Amino acid sequence: MRLRLFIYFAVIVLVTIISMLFFATLGLANEVRSYMFRGGMYKTSGIIEQLQNLYITNGSWQGAETFFHSPMQGHGWGNQGTGQMMGAMMRQHLILTDEDGRILADSSDSNPSGKVDVQDLRTATPIEIENTTIGYLIAVDGMTFSTEDESFLVGRLTSAALTAGLIAGAISLVLALFLAYRLLRPVQALSQAAQQLGSGNLTQRAPILGNDELAELSRTFNLMASSLEDAEQSRKAMTADIAHELRTPLAVQRANLEALQDGVFPLTTENLESILEQNMLLTRLVEDLNTLALVDSGKLELQRSGTSFPELVKSVMDRYQSHALSAGIQLTLQLDPAQDGMTLLSIDPLRIEQIIGNLLSNAFRYTPENGRIELRITSNKESVQLTVHDSGEGIPPEALPHIFERFYRADRSRSRALGGSGLGLAIARKLAEAHGGELNAGNHPTGGAVFTLILAKS
């Protein structure tokens, strides 16, 4: 890549040099010829100015011949610089013509006549007044510049231009090499980091050099690498948690079955009850994992139907009332005065029941005896909101960011029987997101945890 970029720079430099020499050579001969033909080597600009003054004074070219041959008679030559202009005229063969090329005066001929060739007028110096050409001044001595001399001069100038171009090209190529190195260094570092990441080293990060687009690309790469590392750590942790969650009920089942097989426990309904409980626990865990897998893969099919959300919440609450009474917990539901009990939402009622059931199970788990659990439904034009507020100790601040993680328990001292598998809240959030909604957690200002389910109206 670096070599390719250097070659690109080199091609650009060479094309620039060749183009410069090509177009310079095309115009160089004409410019040299024009400069020499117009007497540029003899600085005739002062003579042009005096001729313009003569024309303006006389209103015509009358007196031009006298001006050329008797300058001391007073036709504008008495000002500063007369000596230099006289010397110039003495060294040059000058011809003055009108705008049509008819010869008006000749510094080497006191009786000029005839007309100059149109080709000569193209290289002559025009005499203009108010952008109107009134005549031409031809430096005949300049035209003695031979073709060989012209070719020699053009060749020397071209050689000088080529030398300058090559030097400039060499400097440009050195700069191109330096720029290629500077530009590709972060790309090379990013490529090496990507190779390390591809080989499984998820801790690899790309260095951030500067503050340009490549630096932004490195930042994006590092964010991606961090996400992959977090995902890999979550995968490993989840695998370990699944194994841990499965190990205990399987061990209990095996111990009870071996006891029954060895005759330690008699084969009775009561002894089979504990085995059945462990089997139900395993079944529930597998179902929860399957639900999460379906949601993660986007394969969970929602059976949506027009459902009254308040009525659905009431029906779930009714199933938990007996449990609330036995636990000495007050379970209540409050509706917004503006809430229409017949408001229909396009939802999967079974999955929404699962969300509400998981939230209530979590609330019962952390609500003390004689406590309370309050459910409240509010709505606006865009969404319906359900809050579940318990009177427990609330969620520890350090646990709040992780409360919806799989297999996470805010109270690690709780057993599986009391603390659950740690999948309920994770499933609840995933199901809410599958409905296009949200599920958030926090602590209420008056105390206790509060979970908020938001479902869009559609």
The per-residue pLDDT for 86 is 45
Characterize the bridge pairing of strands 305-308 and 344-347: antiparallel
Interval 147-164: pLDDT, tens: 565 566 667 777 777 777
Quick one: average pLDDT of 351-372? 92
Give yes or no for residue 131 having a pLDDT over 60: yes
Q: CA 63, CA 71: separation in Å to the nearest integer?
A: 11
Quick one: average pLDDT of 89-116? 80
Interval 247-299: pLDDT, tens: 877 888 888 888 888 888 888 888 888 788 888 878 888 888 888 888 888 88
Q: Which comes out higher in pLDDT, residue 349 or 117?
A: 349
The residue to which tokens 């084969």 are assigned: 267
Q: Are 345 and 306 in contact (CB under 8 A)?
A: yes
The per-residue pLDDT for 31 is 59
Question: What is the dihedral angle through the alpha carbons of 178, 184, 185, 189, rounded to the nearest 10 degrees?
Answer: -170
Q: Which of 327, 383, 384, 315 is nearest to 354 (CA)?
A: 315
Interval 382-398: pLDDT, tens: 899 999 999 999 999 99
Write a three-state SS string for the chain.
Answer: CHHHHHHHHHHHHHHHHHHHHHHHHHHHHHHHHHHHHCCHHHCCHHHHHHHHHHHHHHCCCCCHHHHHHCHHHCCCCCCCCHHHHHHHHHHCCEEEEECCCEEEEECCECCCCCECCHHHHHCCEEEEECCEEEEEEEEHHHHHCCHHHHHHHHHHHHHHHHHHHHHHHHHHHHHHHHHHHHHHHHHHHHHHHHHHHHCCCCCCCCCCCCCCHHHHHHHHHHHHHHHHHHHHHHHHHHHHHHHHHHHHHHHHHHHHHHHHHHCCCCCCHHHHHHHHHHHHHHHHHHHHHHHHHHHHHCCCCCCCEEEEHHHHHHHHHHHHHHHHHHHCCEEEEEECCCCCCCCEEEECHHHHHHHHHHHHHHHHHHCCCCCEEEEEEEECCCEEEEEEEECCCCCCCCCHHHCCCCCCCCCCCCCHHHHCCCCHHHHHHHHHHHCCCEEEEEECCCCCEEEEEEEECC
The per-residue pLDDT for 266 is 86
Q: Are 375 and 334 in contact (CB under 8 A)?
A: yes
Give yes or no for residue 240 having a pLDDT over 50: yes
The per-residue pLDDT for 375 is 96
Longest dimension (CA), the chain: 152
The domains found in the chain, sorted by start residue, are 38-144 (no CATH), 227-297 (1.10.287.130), 305-456 (3.30.565.10)
Question: What is the dihedral angle through the alpha carbons of 323, 326, 327, 332, rounded to the nearest 10 degrees?
Answer: 60
The token duo for 196 is 């390390």
Q: Which residues pair with 135 in a beta bridge?
A: 98, 127
Give yes or no for residue 144 having a pLDDT over 80: no
- Residue 416 binned pLDDT confidence (cut-offs 50, 70, 90): very low
Q: CA 268, CA 292: separation in Å to the nearest integer?
A: 37
- Residue 440 binned pLDDT confidence (cut-offs 50, 70, 90): very high
Look up residue 310 and give its amino acid: P
Q: Which of 151, 148, 44 is nearest to 92 (CA)?
A: 44
- Beta-carbon contacts of residue 417 (< 8 Å; ≥ 6 apart): none
Q: CA 154, CA 28: separation in Å to the nearest integer?
A: 7
The token duo for 61 is 């070219």
Give yes or no for residue 442 having a pLDDT over 90: yes
Give yes or no for residue 210 having a pLDDT over 80: no
The per-residue pLDDT for 199 is 81
Using CB atoms within 10 Å of the CB of residue 423, give its burial: 0 to 12 exposed, 13 to 18 middle, 19+ buried.
buried
Quick one: average pLDDT of 429-446? 93
Mean of all residue pLDDT scores within the chain:
78
The token duo for 210 is 């500067």
The per-residue pLDDT for 29 is 56
Please state, as a whole number, how many other Cβ atoms lie within 10 Å of the Cβ of residue 38: 22
Q: CA 272, CA 294: separation in Å to the nearest integer?
A: 33
The per-residue pLDDT for 181 is 74
The per-residue pLDDT for 75 is 40
- Residue 41 binned pLDDT confidence (cut-offs 50, 70, 90): very low
Q: Which residues pair with 383 in a beta bridge?
A: 456
The per-residue pLDDT for 88 is 47
The per-residue pLDDT for 35 is 54
- Residue 40 binned pLDDT confidence (cut-offs 50, 70, 90): very low
Quick one: average pLDDT of 44-55? 80
Q: Which comes out higher in pLDDT, residue 173 or 364?
A: 364
Radius of gyration (C-alpha) of the chain in whole angstroms: 50
- Residue 116 binned pLDDT confidence (cut-offs 50, 70, 90): confident
The per-residue pLDDT for 450 is 96
- Residue 52 binned pLDDT confidence (cut-offs 50, 70, 90): confident
- Residue 332 binned pLDDT confidence (cut-offs 50, 70, 90): very high
The per-residue pLDDT for 106 is 84
The per-residue pLDDT for 63 is 82
Q: Distance of CA 337 to CAs 340, 402, 456, Å?
A: 8, 35, 19
The per-residue pLDDT for 24 is 64
Q: Which comes out higher in pLDDT, residue 359 or 209?
A: 359
The per-residue pLDDT for 148 is 60
Q: Are 219 and 208 in contact (CB under 8 A)?
A: yes
Q: Are 409 and 432 in contact (CB under 8 A)?
A: no
Q: CA 136, CA 249: separation in Å to the nearest integer?
A: 115
